[in-house]
Copies of this chain bind each other. A is one copy, B any other.
Amino acid sequence: MAGSQLSSELPPLDALLKRLREEKPLVQCITNFVSMDIMANTLLAIGASPAMVHCAEEAADFQKIASALLVNVGTLSPQWVAGMEAAIGAANKLKKPWVLDPVAAGATPFRTETIVKLAKMRPCVIRGNASEIMALAGAAGATRGVDSTAESEEALALGKQLSLDLGAVVAISGKDDYVINGNSMLKVSNGHPMLQRITASGCAVTALIAAFASLAPNDLHMATAYALGIFGVAAEIAVKKGGEAGPASLRTHLIDTLYTFTEAEMESYNVSICITEPEQ
């Protein structure tokens, strides 16, 4: 990284968390079958409202009453892609934020082509792990001048290019989460390795990003970092509450903690959101 500095410009968390609980944004989720239970429960626990509405016959209409759209390609099929495209078209027309989760980008040609097609439909945020972001960036034609041996650094450079090319915030999840908005980057250093043992926990956090994006359409960069920070801090608290017993206990405590989450807990855990500059 070229540089790193703590930002003094962060709006207070409760401006977003309190508003989420008051406004209860309705997030239309077109998501994979594995994730539906934990995603809906994540949104409900924190105070948002989920709606899994996917088919082409109603996906666009539903955007009229929704606050945001989450598109996750996990258990892909052509019928569902038709619904995704219809919903995305409506979201763009109605100026509702929509967020893309490019699950397993690169795994098959059908999947990669579909993700590239969706990524070009102007998502406001894309969140994936390093390999997903790299696969998407590569397939979408992003190139970078300086090769890197470290995968995470390569992902950052490709993520930056993807962000610039698509005009979207790009979040790369991992041990640390990086949230890239063109030349600006936020780093969120929360969470717990055991989260990777809970299926669809990444999918759930992308839905949380969609919920916060609907509250801060003019500051998607910060809203994305907040969603990642809250989920990560909640996971840390959940581990201490008894989640260290294993991934199923962690999941229970995580959902419970999102329900009771307070700004005080956020502060006490010292979320390290800092402004850094990705290498050129």
Interface residues, chain A, CB within 8 Å of chain B?
A: 32-34, 36-38, 40-41, 44-45, 50-55, 57-58, 61-62, 65, 74-79, 104, 107-111, 196-200, 245-249, 251-260
Contacts and interface: CB of A to CB of B under 8 A. Distances in A.
Nearest to A109: B61
B107 A50 contact: no
Nearest to A64: B108
Nearest to A43: B199
A32 B45 contact: no
Contacts of A75: 52-55
Given A76-B55, A197-B45, A246-B260, A34 B36 contact: yes
A142 to B, nearest CB: 22
Contacts of A34: 36-37, 40, 50, 52
Looking at chain A's contact residues, is the secondary structure mostly helix, strand, loop, or mixed? helix
A77 B54 contact: yes
A107 B196 CA distance: 35
A132 to B, nearest CB: 13
Given A34-B37, A57-B77, A247-B259, A104 B44 contact: no
A95 to B, nearest CB: 19
A37 B31 CA distance: 14
A247 B41 contact: yes
A256 to B, nearest CB: 3
A72 to B, nearest CB: 12
A41 B194 CA distance: 12
Nearest to A30: B75
Contacts of A77: 54-55, 57, 79
A107 B45 contact: no
A199 B44 contact: yes
Contacts of A246: 45, 255-260
A230 B11 CA distance: 46
Contact of A245 (B38, B52, B76, B256): B256
B199 A50 contact: yes
B53 A107 contact: yes
